[in-house]
């Protein structure tokens, strides 16, 4: 063995180029997110038609009246796309917030306490983990009935273990660091120890994983809706639009391509953000 081999190979050292690329990706992702949020927030004012209004002009192509054409019963595709995004994104946002809150609590408690508590929490999460995510979601939504609160609850349950694991991992090592020991020795309470001395140091991987979870949740919400397990009919949603359009897609390809593009745009937004954050915050260890 030569002397050179004793030097650690700094593969994961922060590379300025990668970090710069990270800033760019976060900027692009942030812009995409802003566009999505604005369209969602002002949806009812932007949408040119009532998304549920039926007209005799069915399966129409692109025109000045209907920018993205109409569907099989003459509803305006653009308006349905804008309003449908509200349902899809609302479910996604609330579900991921819940999963993040539960994942944070479970991950912090189980990582910090260790021992029996850790074992019990992790084995319980293993049971949820053993189900394929999507199969579990189908089973729970079918059991509880496809309403918006049930969809939110299901998706929160399904993604909690993933976030809890991402939180727990770094907590296991950070809790042994000197500054935590120092804080404990001057009598800082356990709660403050976890919240202000451990949490800030494990936040980067959590941000990246949350962004990825948002992308995955868009997938789960739209896929469930695609299978007919989405929000009930009067409100449009992207997955449901895609499923409805399949019947006539050769006559009006746009009715399929429009919701497909919307789903891809939303997912891409969060993937770009996750990749950017990973480079920017230099989160190592790919999954």
| Residues forming the site for another protein (CB under 8 A) | 1-2, 5, 9, 11, 123-124, 126-127, 130-135, 138-140, 142-145, 215, 218-219, 222-223, 226-227, 242, 246, 249-250, 253, 256-257, 260, 263-264, 267-268, 271-272, 275, 286-287
Q: Which residue, 24 or 42, has its beta carbon nearer to another protein?
A: 24
Tokens of residue 180, six digits: 């935590």
Q: How far is the CB of 152 from another protein (least distance, A)?
A: 18
Query: Residue 193 or 223: which CB sits closer to another protein?
Result: 223
Comparison of 108 and 210: residue with beta carbon closer to another protein = 210
Q: What DSSP letter does each residue of 150-186 carry, written as one string?
A: HHHHHHHHHHHHHHHHHHHHHHHHHTTSHHHHHHHHT
CB 236 within 8 A of CB 51: yes
In contact, 142 and 121? CB cutoff 8 Å: no
Closest approach of another protein to the CB of residue 83, in Å:
20
Is 11 or 186 the residue whose CB approaches another protein more closely? 11
Q: Alpha-carbon distance 199 to 206, whole Å?
A: 10
CB of 135 to another protein, least distance (A): 5
Q: How far apart are CB 246 and another protein at their closest, in Å?
A: 6
Helix segments in 114-246, DSSP class H: 115-130, 133-144, 148-174, 178-185, 190-192, 203-226, 238-245
Q: How far is the CB of 85 from another protein (least distance, A)?
A: 15
Q: Nearer to another protein by C-beta: 90 or 265? A: 265
CB of 157 to another protein, least distance (A): 11
Between 140 and 194, whose beta carbon lies closer to another protein?
140
Output the smallest distance, CB 260 to another protein, in A.
Answer: 5
- From the list 229, 255, 276, the residue with the least C-alpha distance to 62 is 255
- Pair 218, 92: CB distance under 8 Å: yes
Beta carbon nearer to another protein, 53 or 251: 251
Nearer to another protein among residue 46 and residue 257 (C-beta): 257
User: In the block, which residue shows the tokens 């948002």?
Assistant: 214
Which SS3 state, helix, strand or coil, does residue 198 take?
helix
Tell me how far CA of residue 188 lies from CA of 180, 201, 203, in angstroms: 9, 17, 21
Sort 153 into a burial class: Cβ within 10 Å, 0-12 / 13-18 / 19+: middle
Smallest separation, CB 139 to another protein (Å): 6
Longest dimension (CA), the chain: 81
């Amino acid at each position: 063995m030569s002397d050179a081999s004793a030097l650690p190979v700094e593969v994961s050292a922060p590379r300025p180029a990668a970090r710069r690329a990270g800033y760019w990706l976060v900027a692009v992702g942030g812009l995409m997110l802003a566009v999505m949020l604005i369209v969602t927030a002002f949806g009812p004012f932007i949408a040119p038609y009532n998304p549920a209004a039926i007209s005799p002009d069915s399966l129409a192509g692109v025109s000045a009246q209907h920018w993205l054409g109409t569907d099989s019963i003459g509803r305006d595709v653009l308006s349905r796309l804008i309003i449908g995004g509200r349902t899809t994104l609302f479910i996604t946002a609330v579900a991921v917030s819940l999963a993040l809150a539960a994942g944070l609590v479970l991950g912090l408690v189980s990582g910090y306490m260790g021992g029996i508590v850790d074992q019990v929490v992790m084995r319980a999460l293993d049971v949820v983990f053993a189900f394929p995510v999507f199969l579990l979601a189908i089973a729970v939504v079918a059991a509880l009935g496809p309403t918006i609160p049930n969809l939110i609850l299901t998706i929160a349950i399904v993604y909690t273990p993933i976030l809890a694991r991402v939180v727990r991992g770094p907590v296991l090592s950070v809790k042994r660091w000197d500054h935590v020991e120092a804080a404990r020795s001057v009598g800082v309470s356990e709660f403050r120890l976890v919240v202000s001395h451990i949490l800030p140091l494990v936040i980067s991987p959590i941000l990246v994983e949350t962004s990825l979870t948002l992308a995955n949740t868009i997938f789960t919400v739209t896929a469930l809706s695609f299978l007919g397990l989405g929000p009930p009919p009067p409100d449009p949603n992207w997955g449901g639009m895609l499923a409805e359009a399949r019947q006539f897609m050769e006559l009006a390809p746009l009715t399929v391509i429009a919701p497909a593009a919307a789903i891809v745009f939303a997912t891409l937004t969060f993937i770009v953000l996750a990749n950017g954050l990973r480079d920017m915050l230099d989160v190592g260890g790919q999954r």
